[in-house]
Amino acid sequence: MPPKAPRGATRTGRRLRKTGGLLLSLLLTLLGLLLVTFIIGRVMPIDPVMKVVGERASPAQIEAARVAMGLDKPLIVQFFNYMGDVLRGDFGRSISTGHPVAEDLRRVFPATLELASLGTLIGVFVGIPLGVIAAANRGGWIDQVARVVALVGYSVPIFWLGLMGLLVFYGILGWVGGPGRQDIIYDGMVTTHTGLLLIDTLIAGDWGAFRDAFSHIILPASLLGYFSLAYISRMTRSFMLEQLSAEYITTARVKGLSESKVIWRHAFGNILVPLITVIALSFGSLLEGSVLTEIIFSWPGIGSYITKTLLAGDMNAVLGGTIVVGTCFVALNLLSDILYRVMDPRAQ
């Protein structure tokens, strides 16, 4: 009878298999993302050659441009060339701006990242306590308010809220800055280190520029944060209700523990792991779904960049932006899965 493997070796092997499976899933997902974007670029009724050479080019010029762009090769060869370029960070050149797409994305992505991050923070710090308190007071007025807040967050179009917000808080009350990322008098005054304007102004110690940047970002970030907290509070309430009905909660109460300890230490402690996935998905949704918000507030982020280049038929820019957003979403899912395994020993 062969000797049994040590328990530690068995556990290590299991972790390696799970890690390998996770990495394989990640690679297949990214490969699928590249394949989908490649197909979209080929089926769109926009000829990239004509966008480059113009409609008045001669047939010889058109054919020369097609050969130079590699579009005369078989599709499978084009796909592998496309994949190789993307892996090197080469998304081609934007017709709209005349710059490499990668350079444009490095310029616009921090604006979206800053906006989505602040929106997620608002959603987390408001949505989680709201969901916990609503579950602890099930059927009470706080619970009813939380459910209405979540319902409105899911139902009201964000473009309407954005326009009303600009009208009231900027146009009438003057409490916040207007469209754009900052006033023109501060444009270019702060050295860019991270691309995140709030952080860069703090590094520079320019409090005037910081207050101006904050006044411009707070309204669009609050709108995104409202939609984030609607989702997070709803999921938090659902998780908490499940935990508060469990037997161990009844046991804790019988032992005489205070209600705050029962709720926050025991019940809330057991929902932290699934909440990580909820927060990651919410953040990813704000990264990819802030297009309307960026357009309404003239926010120079990746969403407005993709929209403008799509209307201009600039497929290199559109596909490059799509790949970056999709990769971020995949990376966030991977990060949430890793944190899930770290925080929950049962997932090892």
Q: What is the signed CA dihedral for 326, 328, 330, 336, rounded to 10 degrees?
A: -150
CA gap 348, 343 in Å, rounded? 10
Question: What is the average per-residue pLDDT within 294-321?
Answer: 86
Highest-confidence range of 6-15, 40-49, 218-227, 306-315, by mean pLDDT? Answer: 218-227
Which residue is listed with tokens 């441009």? 65
Tell me the whole-structure pTM to 2 decimals: 0.83
Residue 119 pLDDT:
93
Residue 15 pLDDT:
65
* Local structure of residue 170 (DSSP, 8 states): I
- Read off φ and ψ for residue 287, nearest 5 degrees: -65, -40
Question: What is the average per-residue pLDDT within 29-47?
Answer: 78
Task: Name which residue leads in pLDDT, 77 or 123.
Answer: 123
Arithmetic mean of pLDDT over the chain: 83
Task: Name which residue leads in pLDDT, 120 or 63.
Answer: 120
Whether the pLDDT of residue 1 is over 50: the answer is no
State the DSSP string of 29-48: HHHHHHHHHHHHHHHSS--H
Percent over 90 (pLDDT), the chain: 22
Closest by Cα among 262, 286, 273 to 239: 273
Whether the pLDDT of residue 6 is over 60: the answer is no
Greatest alpha-carbon span in the chain: 87
Tens-digit pLDDT profile for residues 132-183: 999 988 888 888 988 898 888 878 888 888 899 999 999 899 899 888 888 8
Q: What does the domain layout of the chain look like in residue ranges? A: 1-45, 47-88, 102-347
Label residue 273 by pLDDT band (50, 70, 90). Answer: confident
- Dihedral sign of CA atoms 70, 45, 309, 28 in order: negative
| 102-347 CATH pick, 3.30.1490.20, 3.40.1190.20, 1.10.3470.10, 1.10.3720.10 | 1.10.3720.10
